[in-house]
Amino acid sequence: MTREASPLTREQVIEAAQAAFLTHYGVAPTAVGVAPGRVELLGNHTDYNEGFVLTAAVDYVTAIAGAHSQRPLTPIATSAGFPEATFDPHAMEKSAGEDRWANYLKGIIDELQKTGCPVGNFAAFVTSSVPDGSGLSSSAALLVAAARLLTTLWPDPIAADPMELAKLARRAENGRFVGAPVGLLDQFSSACGLAGHALFLDCRSFTWKAVPLPAEKAGILLANTNVKHELAAGGGYSERHGQCMQAARQLVGRGDAKLRDVTPALLESKGIGLDPVLKQRAHHIVYENVRVEKAAEALEQGDLFEVGRLMKQSHESCKRYFENSCTEVDFIVELACNQPGVYGAKLTGGGWGGSAVILHDPTEDITEALNAALIKGYTEQFGAAPTLLATTAAQGAEGFSC
Ligand code: GLA
């Protein structure tokens, strides 16, 4: 059975980080940063196009326990089986070695130092219930937990505003230590999550609102295919990013235009002369933005059937226009949508493998039958079971002294 057991609670992950710090360094930590992963409910690749997203923080979290340190080098250890990283926070270099996971922390330290926050030497221990490569953005959880820990150790005004902290974490991921051209969806969800709510974000104005997504009304299930197709390793994402920027420039006729500036009417009139591939990419983003706005309205009215319908359309659009899905994810989306009590399902995250998100009636019988059907159907087709992770819409990140 590959259905994951319930995750450790947030409190258990925090306690584990504190206990591991004490065992590892022989002293108690003085602060903790904790941050959840995220699930993209709707708004696939819309974030870096300055469009809309509908997202939620999840029950799986990363906690980092830490304390100021007088050692010449900062050690960061983890329970995840990665080797301990040590570096000087005043002379950091990007690592290409086995400790490259710590590049995310270096990115946060770098961005905090740029804002004037005097991050110096510390020691830290990272513990997480966010499975690596699960489609729940373990990277955002690590980034935002680090930002919360460090702004607790070195108090900084930026910590007062979760949105500013999310933007800082995105800069860290875009910047020289990580270098991924991602949008704000992951870091925003992790920093701003609200229990029992999905978050609707305008990635241009950075205004956002929480819309109800109560656990007793909707179950959220992540089905990870555990496959990663070649294009996923940075290439596909960057290529789509480039195509979107090019399509926006040509459709709007301005160098700094984004697909957010393109309405369906503009796409239909000006799209005629556009390269067919660019037109397809633009089509996905322009109509995905429309779907996100509609889904936020539907959630406000408690209409989960409508949200599910929009999710299915989103997935069709990924397949047909954005071409970032794959056979395995398509199969699981279709399988899920044919089960009783399922509102909708779609690819979630970058694509070319990874996970589907399924929104369903959370009653126990339906949930059990859905899990069983997914495992059976997928295993029969591909010879290996998907990993199923259930979650609710959860609280966002926090940092505290201890
Ligand atoms: C990844 C990125 C996000 C977003 C999604 C696709 O998760 O990190 O910024 O672009 O893909 O919606």
Q: Is 186 a catalytic residue?
A: yes
Total Cβ atoms within 10 A of residue 13: 24
Could you say which of 59, 186, 275, 303 is catalytic? 186
pLDDT of residue 53: 98
> 208-237: per-residue pLDDT in tens?
999 999 999 999 999 999 998 766 566 899
Give yes or no for residue 355 CB within 6 A of ligand 1: no
Which of 47, 53, 144 has the most ligand 1 atoms within 8 A of CB, as the residue to mutate? 47
Residue 80: band (very low, low, confident or very high) from pLDDT cuts 50, 70, 90: confident
Indicate the pLDDT class of residue 2, thresholds 50, 70 and 90: very low
Q: How far is the CA of 203 from the centre of ligand 1 (A)?
A: 12
Cβ–ligand 1 distance for 350 under 6 Å, the answer yes
How far apart, in whole angstroms, are the C-alpha atoms of residue 59 and residue 177?
28
Alpha helices (runs of H) in 32-95, residue ranges in sequence order = none
Percentages of the chain per state (helix, strand, coil), in multiples of 5: 45, 25, 30
Helix, strand or coil, per DSSP, at residue 400: strand
Q: Which domains does the chain have, with CATH numbers?
A: 10-213+395-401 (3.30.230.10)
Ligand 1 centroid to residue 336 C-alpha, Å: 22
pLDDT digits (tens, 9 = 90+) for 48-73: 999 999 999 999 999 999 999 999 99
Q: Is 47 in the pocket of ligand 1 (CB under 6 A)?
A: yes
Give the integer Cα–Cα distance in Å for 222 and 218.
Answer: 13
- Tell me, using a 6 A CB cutoff, whether residue 50 lines ligand 1: no
Asked if residue 293 lies in contact with residue 53, where contact means CB atoms within 8 angstroms, the answer is no
Q: Please tell me the pTM assigned to this model.
A: 0.96
